[in-house]
Structure 1
Amino acid sequence: MEEWRWIEGYEGLYQISDQGRLRSYKPSRKRPHTPHFLQSRPDHKGYLIAFLYKDGKFRSRKIHRLVAETFVPRTDLTLHVNHIDGVKTNNGSANLEWVTQAENSKLAWEMGLIKPPPRRSGKGALTPELLSAMRGLFARGATRKDIALAYGFSIRTVQDALKGELAEMV
C-alpha cells in the first residue's frame, strides 16, 4: 500500500508518497476542498521535478530527492541520491539509496549512464619514453594542447613535463 508523508518545510501543503507521487492540499479553483495530484515533468537531465509554492514563491524540487529525504534514512548530509536501477524516473523509495558523490559517479559509469572518467596522469603514468616523445613533438612545433589531446593528459601536466617539473613521475 502506498504510504504518504508530509514534505519537510511544506507540512499542511504537500505530501509525497513512497512511490514518488506528489499531492497538494492547497486549495485550487477547480478543487477548493480536496487534495489533488501534482504533475511532475523531466528537467534537462531527465530527473522528474515539480514546483512547490509557499510564502509567495515557487521552488523547483526533484522528486527523487523529496522521496529519499522523506523515506530513506541517512546519516550524512553530504550524501547524494542514487537510483539503484539507473532509471531516473523510477522514484520509488525501494529504488533509492544514499551514496557518496564518488560512489554515485562510479555506479553511473558502471551502468553506462555516463562516460568513463578521463585518463589521469597520476604517478607513474609518464614513462621516460613517453616524455621523450612529447618533447620531440613539442620541438617539431606541436602545441601543448595538441600533445595533451594526443596522450590524454591535461595541458598543465604536459606543460609541467616539458619544463622538467615532473621528473619524479618518470
Structure 2
Amino acid sequence: MEHWKAVQGYAGMYQVSTSGNVRSLDRTIETSRGVKQRRQGVVLRPRINQEGYRKVTLYKQGRGERFYVAELVAKAFLDSEATHDRIIRADGDRVNDQIDNLTVKPSTTQAYASLLDEFDLLLTQHIELSPRQIRDIRRRYQTGLSIRRLALTYQVTENRIRNIIDKKEAQYIS
C-alpha cells in the first residue's frame, strides 16, 4: 500500500510516497503579474540524471530546485537529516527509490555518538580481577598463552592483559 507524506519544506505543495513517487497537490498560485491561477495536482515524472539517479524539480514562489527522489523518500519516511550520499540501496538499482529498498547510513556525528555510547558501556562493565587471577595471567603468559586467548578467558580487553603483563596495572602484585 502506497503512503504519502509532505515533502520537507514544501508542505501543502508536494508529497512523496513510499513507492518513490512524487506528486504536486491541488493549489492556487499567484503569477509574477499578480494573477491567481488554480493548479491541479499531478504525479511528477522524474528525470534520470547523468549518474543514473531519478531527480524531480520542485517549485516554490516561482523558483525551481532539483531533488533526488530517494532523498525525498528517505527524509519523509526514514531520517529527516538524510542526504543523497548517505543513502544505500539494497538491490543496487539507482532508479529503485521504494522505501523498502533504501537505508540511511548514520551521519558522522551519529556514528561518533554511537561509539562513545559503546565506550561508556565498556567502562561500566569493568571487570575486577583478583590478585590470584592477575598472578595467573602473568604465569600463563610466561608459559606461552597468547594475549588474545587470555583476554577471551578472563573477558577483558587485550590492552588490559598487556597492562597486567607489563605491570602497568596491579604493579603491587608479584
TM-score relative to the length of structure 2 = 0.51
What is the CA deviation profile of residues 15-70 of structure 1, one whole-angstrom value per residue up to 9, with x for unaligned ones? 00001001101559xxx464211110101100000000002211010000000111
Q: What is aligned with 2:2?
A: 2
How many residue pairs are counted as aligned between the two chains? 100
Structure 2 spans left out of the alignment, 5+ residues = 29-37, 109-174
Contact 2:70 2:84 in 1 (8 A): no
Find out whether 1:92 has 2:88 as its counterpart.
no
Give the partner amino acid of 1:7.
Answer: V
Alpha-carbon separation, structure 2, partners of 1:52 and 1:76: 18
Q: What is aligned with 1:123?
A: none
Alpha-carbon separation, structure 1, partners of 2:84 and 2:51: 21
Q: What is aligned with 2:58?
A: 52
Alpha-carbon separation, structure 2, partners of 1:19 and 1:47: 15
Alpha-carbon separation, structure 2, partners of 1:40 and 1:61: 10
Contact 1:79 1:100 in 2 (8 A): no
Alpha-carbon separation, structure 2, partners of 1:69 and 1:26: 22
Q: What is aligned with 2:75?
A: 69
Q: What is aligned with 2:18?
A: 18
Structure 1 spans left out of the alignment, 5+ residues = 103-170
Distance 1:24 1:46, change over 3 A: same
> Which structure has the larger Rg?
2
Contact 2:52 2:95 in 1 (8 A): yes
Percent identity of the aligned residues?
Answer: 29
Give the partner amino acid of 2:13.
Answer: L
Contact 1:13 1:25 in 2 (8 A): yes
Distance 1:60 1:100, change over 3 A: same
Q: What is aligned with 1:39?
A: 45
User: RMSD of the alignment, in Å?
Assistant: 3.0
Q: What is aligned with 1:157?
A: none
| 3-state DSSP of counterpart to 1:15 | strand
TM-score relative to the length of structure 1 = 0.52
Give the partner amino acid of 1:92.
Answer: Q
| 3-state DSSP of counterpart to 1:49 | strand
What is the CA deviation profile of residues 117-148 of structure 1, one whole-angstrom value per residue up to 9, with x for unaligned ones? xxxxxxxxxxxxxxxxxxxxxxxxxxxxxxxx
